[in-house]
Copies of this chain bind each other. A is one copy, B any other.
Amino acid sequence: MTHFVNGIDTVISDAIDGYLRVFGCVRLARLSSPGGAKIVLRQHIDKSKGSLISGSGSGHEPAHVGFVGEGMLTAAVCGEIFASPSVDAVLTAIRVVTGPAGCLLIVQNYAGDRLNFGLAAEKARAEVLNVEMMIVADDIAIRDAPRPRGVAGTLFVHKIAGDTAERGLELAKVKAAAEKAASAVQSIGIASTVCTISGRATPERLPEGMAELGLGIHGEPRIERISLPTANEAARMISERFGGSVKTAPALAMIINNLGGMPAIEMSLVAKAILETDIGARTQFVIGPAPLMTALDMRGFSISVLVLDRDLTEALLAPTLAPACPGARSTAPVSRVDSTETTRTAAYAPSTNAQVRRGVETVSKAIIASEADLKLLDAKVGDGDTGTTMANAARAVLGTIDQLPLANPAQLCGALADTFAKGMGRSSGVLLSILASATGHALASGSPWGAALSVGLGRMEYYGGAREGDRTMLDALRPAPQP
């Protein structure tokens, strides 16, 4: 049980209200229905245009509520988690949105949805409402399945039918556009975990290190259990499943759908992998990667592919206000900008100054001689590496002393900054490098030694975040610039 919910009874209703508190600003509303139907719809419905209703059990958010808005759905009917909405709920939605131009129901191919939306359609017809229904069955997981499931490819149908309706075409043409899209789309998913439902035990079906290819958006099991593939392997397996016209079509659109629990960084890996396949090479537009039709927290993704023609492309790219439709973007090769940085060679030339050299050598040797003592002291409060870290820095300085610009204090500080950053490691290396770098920059700007060192210490304090009295090396260095 890892879910932040209130009562199980109020999950769907509360989720709808939460969604509308944020996204209602694009003219969305909730239907107040005496029967308690859970319906999201546009605030203003232009009934001179065909309406579109979709819906299903909940748990697939943002589907379908997120796709309500100008240019896509007119209303979405929500059932309980993974349970079809009731006939009465669908009928209520039909009655409210259907005007002279009629209404199309876009239904995913599950027995419960078909029957409940179907009976609602029949009842609405008996009330002399102009209602049509069409079924989306885009899942290709099961070869030659008599009743393929409707999954994320449904979003393409919403988008294309939605644009057709928005342009004011008659209901028969809206339905024809939806059916054309539905017949041109194929989808398949893969996941490494099954979804968990609040209040029910987590299914133990998928052990670590395994994945299922072709499982459904309700966690329906699929016989094809495989060892967890890499992103590239998964993309290749999926791409090989697509058949029919997808195999040769010159132009495709793709939905890269996060099934709910995939981290964003993995979805980017998936995007790269799938776009590198043969299917990806012919993909002109992508929707996602994003959670679009999820299975609660299922860790996996699905790929939907649509064979494009000019009409479908136009409808796909048309604008929509539906908040959860991220829009189809043109794929492109990765654009690369060459670094304009010139390889900066050291901005100093070796020079000599006997007094400075003596000082640098004396300090370095003293640090090296203290290595064991420092280790011992540090071991009492830390990890005991201070002695070695400091001695390594000192050895690095001694090792390059003949190349140091000993006669130029500002340059010397810059050179030491490089040595500390490279030769010393650890936070203390970066901190001393900051000290030396900032001090050198101040010296170069004409500050005297004391003031320059103060600037350096100030920078060290700012970037390091320690303050005086925190018992860091800052406390030991603070007195140095005092006159």
Contact = CB atoms under 8 A, between A and B. Distances in A.
B18 A269 contact: yes
Nearest to A191: B2
Contact of A126 (B343, B414, B465): B414
Range of interface residues on chain A? 35 or more
A269 B43 contact: no
A441 B337 contact: no
A251 to B, nearest CB: 16
Given A18-B270, A115-B430, A271-B18, A192 B2 contact: yes
A2 to B, nearest CB: 4
A457 to B, nearest CB: 13
Interface string A1-33: 111111000011011111111111100111111
Interface in A438-477: 438, 440-441, 444, 459, 462-465, 467
A370 interface: no
A344 interface: yes
Given A4-B230, A118-B463, A266-B3, A271 B22 contact: yes
Nearest to A91: B341
A463 to B, nearest CB: 3
Given A20-B332, A33-B339, A96-B341, 14 more contacts: A4-B192, A18-B273, A21-B272, A24-B332, A31-B336, A31-B337, A87-B430, A111-B427, A111-B464, A114-B464, A119-B430, A119-B434, A123-B417, A126-B437
10 contacts: A1-B208, A4-B269, A20-B332, A29-B337, A32-B338, A87-B421, A115-B434, A118-B430, A125-B441, A263-B294
Interface of A: 1-6, 11-12, 14-25, 28-34, 41, 43, 58-59, 61-62, 87, 92, 95-96, 109, 111-112, 114-119, 122-123, 125-127, 133, 146-147, 190, 192-193, 208-209, 228-232, 234, 256, 260-273, 275, 286, 288-289, 291, 294, 296-297, 299-301, 329-341, 343-344, 347, 414, 417, 421, 427, 430-431, 433-434, 437-438, 440-441, 444, 459, 462-465, 467
